[in-house]
Amino acid sequence: MATSVSHTPLWCLLQQRATNTPSIKELFKSEPQRFNHFSASACGILLDYSKQRLDTTAKLNLLALARQQKVEARRDAMFAGEAINHTENRAVLHTVLRLPKGEAFHHQGENIAASVHAVLQQMRTFSDAVREGRWLGFSGKPIRTIVNIGIGGSDLGPQMACIALAPWSQKNLLLHFVSNVDGRHLTDALKNAEPETTLFVVASKTFSTMETLTNAQTAREWMLAHGCPSEQIRQHFVALSTNVEAASKFGIAPDNVFPFWNWAGGRYSVWSAIGLSIALYVGADKFEEMLAGAHEMDLHFQQAPLEQNLPVLMALLGVWNINFLGLQALSIAPYHQRMARLPAYLQQLEMESNGKSVTREGQRVDYATSPILFGEAGTNGQHAYFQLLHQGATIIPTDFIVVADDDVGLPGHNQALLANCFAQSKAMALGKDITQVRAELPGVSEALLPHRVFEGNRPSSTVLLDVLSPKSLGALIALYEHKVFVQSVIWDINAFDQWGVELGKSLAQQLISLKPEAVKEDYDSSTKGLLRALKRDK
């Protein structure tokens, strides 16, 4: 059995360092040029981590920890297509989805890069036809409304990207994302839709997800009930799936199925056919620019020395905060309205990947793993949960994500946005002590002073994008993907399975009738009580 990372001398050294690490304020005082040593950039992204509570010794030890845990070898194994998702015996090759055209990648005897580009071409042909009004609905009219039906990775990625890339969207196309099995989600999306001009994109890697199949079935019935002849339903439904057979069985014409492969995990699938809604909304060229941005980050991750390697640095900062400073949560604050869905996207990426409590060998870990991640676009978050970030008894590190050059031309707005972002991280890092408060508020009663004090010493990183473009968005997402992977290597866990979602799924199947006869005697009294309280027996 491998030695647990937490029992290695380096881990103990880092624990000691954490107890002796000066405050962020002291770190800035002792290193006036701190920004120069605690920042790095690549692919149009600057990472400023000088406001983390981290000194050079801790940083060097963290880099040594990465080497001890063989981050480079594990990374190379992932890129090479080894079955690193060992609980499902699968390779993890979302990076192949963004290889440039013409590059080959052989996996299990097949050039899968060529298959990837064949599907990209299929996506281009279809999205061009829809966007140019050549793909017609049952009454001969072009498509005007697109409804992406999918959940988790089959929803969050394309949705987040479409919102971020809205400036490139085609104005006469309306796009909805329906994920929830709650019928209100689909009902609201269809409220103003015209069946004859509506296209449903059924996105499901497995084509077995209850929410998606229920929504897709209802959408189909809605089309038929609104006059679509069954033989024309093919004009209104396409599927994105690894399970081409199940999609065809559902009634989607084989030509309308855009395939992908098991080596692309659900939460890593935005680069695959799952990105079709992006291509429909902003065009295939922009979608491919996003892939190119991610590929650039892949190369950086593979080639840059660990000291300058953005995903590695971000991963180590997280490990430092979670495992050594004991800061278990992470707030994501994108100071850009169009990145408002990024926190939701990262929630799945980080928490579904690294929300694990056994090592790759199945031993219970004795250290924390994934951060508890949440967030909101700035400046909205400031007026909601930032109070706790500034003065709460729990310290929560923040990733501020901000774009240097994205002025929409409304005087004053962008300036105010950026100033707020930088002010927040400064306030969190340095705070305001009682002497400053006293000086600022002469005559204020001593009893009120503690309420006005900001302890500071609350770590944050700032991720500054040159611009928000399809390319930089691709690089940003890939940055977080690789960060999550590096953390999984350090924690010795499998980031690519998600067995934790299975139990709830199967219990829901057992309870689906909600009828009194579904109440089994051996159920717990809470479940019995809730089922009976529904009064379905009337």
Residues marked active site are found at: 352, 383, 505
For the bound state, the minimum distance from the C-beta of residue 500 to ligand F6P, rounded and expressed in Å, comes to 9
Closest CB to ligand F6P among residues 5, 240: 240
Q: How far is the CB of 208 from ligand F6P (least distance, A)?
A: 7
Phi, psi of 174 (to 5 degrees): -100, 135
Query: Minimum distance between the CB of residue 211 and ligand F6P, rounded to whole angstroms?
Result: 8
**What DSSP element (H or E) covers 300?**
helix 284-303
Quote the crossing angle between the two packed helices 310-319 and 56-68, to the nearest 10°. Answer: 100
Please tell me the distance from the alpha carbon of residue 63 to that of residue 13, in angstroms, as a whole number: 13
DSSP label of 260: -
Yes or no: say if 266 and 153 are a contact pair by the CB < 8 Å rule. Answer: yes
Q: State the number of CA atoms in the 13 A half-sphere of 126 facing the CB.
A: 26
Give CA–CA dist 347/84, Å, rounded: 22
| Shortest distance, position 260 Cβ to ligand F6P, whole Å | 10
Residues that bind ligand F6P (CB under 6 A): 151-154, 204-206, 209, 212, 266-267, 352, 498, 501
Consecutive H or E run containing 80: helix 71-80
Q: Enter the DSSP assignment of 4.
A: P
Rounded CA separation 319/206 (Å): 33
Cα–Cα distance for residue pair 282/143, rounded to 1 Å: 15
Burial of 117 (0-12, 13-18, 19+ CB in 10 A): middle
- Kindly list the distances between the CA atom of residue 209 and the CA atoms of 238, 241, 259, 499, 506, in Å, as whole numbers in the listed order: 16, 11, 16, 14, 11
State the nearest-atom distance from the C-beta of 259 to ligand F6P, in Å.
13
* Count of other CB atoms within 10 angstroms of residue 314: 23
Closest distance of CB 89 from ligand F6P, Å: 17
Residue closer to ligand F6P by CB (options 384, 501) is: 501
Nearer to ligand F6P, 206 or 308 (CB): 206
Which residue lies nearer to ligand F6P by CB, 266 or 283? 266
Nearer Cβ to ligand F6P, position 43 or 240? Answer: 240
- Alpha carbons 53 and 396: distance in angstroms, whole number: 12
CB of 219 to ligand F6P, least distance (A): 15
322 CB burial (10 A radius; 0-12, 13-18, 19+): buried
Half-sphere exposure of 70 (CA within 13 A, CB side): 6
- C-alpha dihedral, 507 to 512 to 515 to 521, nearest 10°: -10
Looking at the Cβ atoms of 246 and 372, the one nearer to ligand F6P is 246
In terms of CB distance, is 462 or 498 closer to ligand F6P?
Answer: 498
In whole angstroms, how close is the CB of 174 to ligand F6P at the nearest point?
23
Contact yes or no for 338/166 (Cβ under 8 A): yes
Q: How far is the CB of 501 from ligand F6P (least distance, A)?
A: 4
Report d(CA 226, CA 302) in Å as an integer. Answer: 53
Closest approach of ligand F6P to the CB of residue 204, in Å: 3
Closer by beta carbon to ligand F6P, 49 or else 345:
345
Burial classification of residue 73, based on how many CB atoms lie within 10 Å of its CB (0-12 exposed, 13-18 middle, 19 or more buried): exposed
Interior angle at CA 537, CA 534 and CA 538, nearest 5: 100
Q: Pick between residue 155 and residue 289 the one whose CB is nearest to ligand F6P.
A: 155
Q: Are 373 and 329 in contact, with CB atoms under 8 Å apart?
A: yes
Spatial strand order of the sheet with 145-149 comes to 174-178, 145-149, 198-203, 237-241, 257-259
94/286 with CB nearer ligand F6P: 94
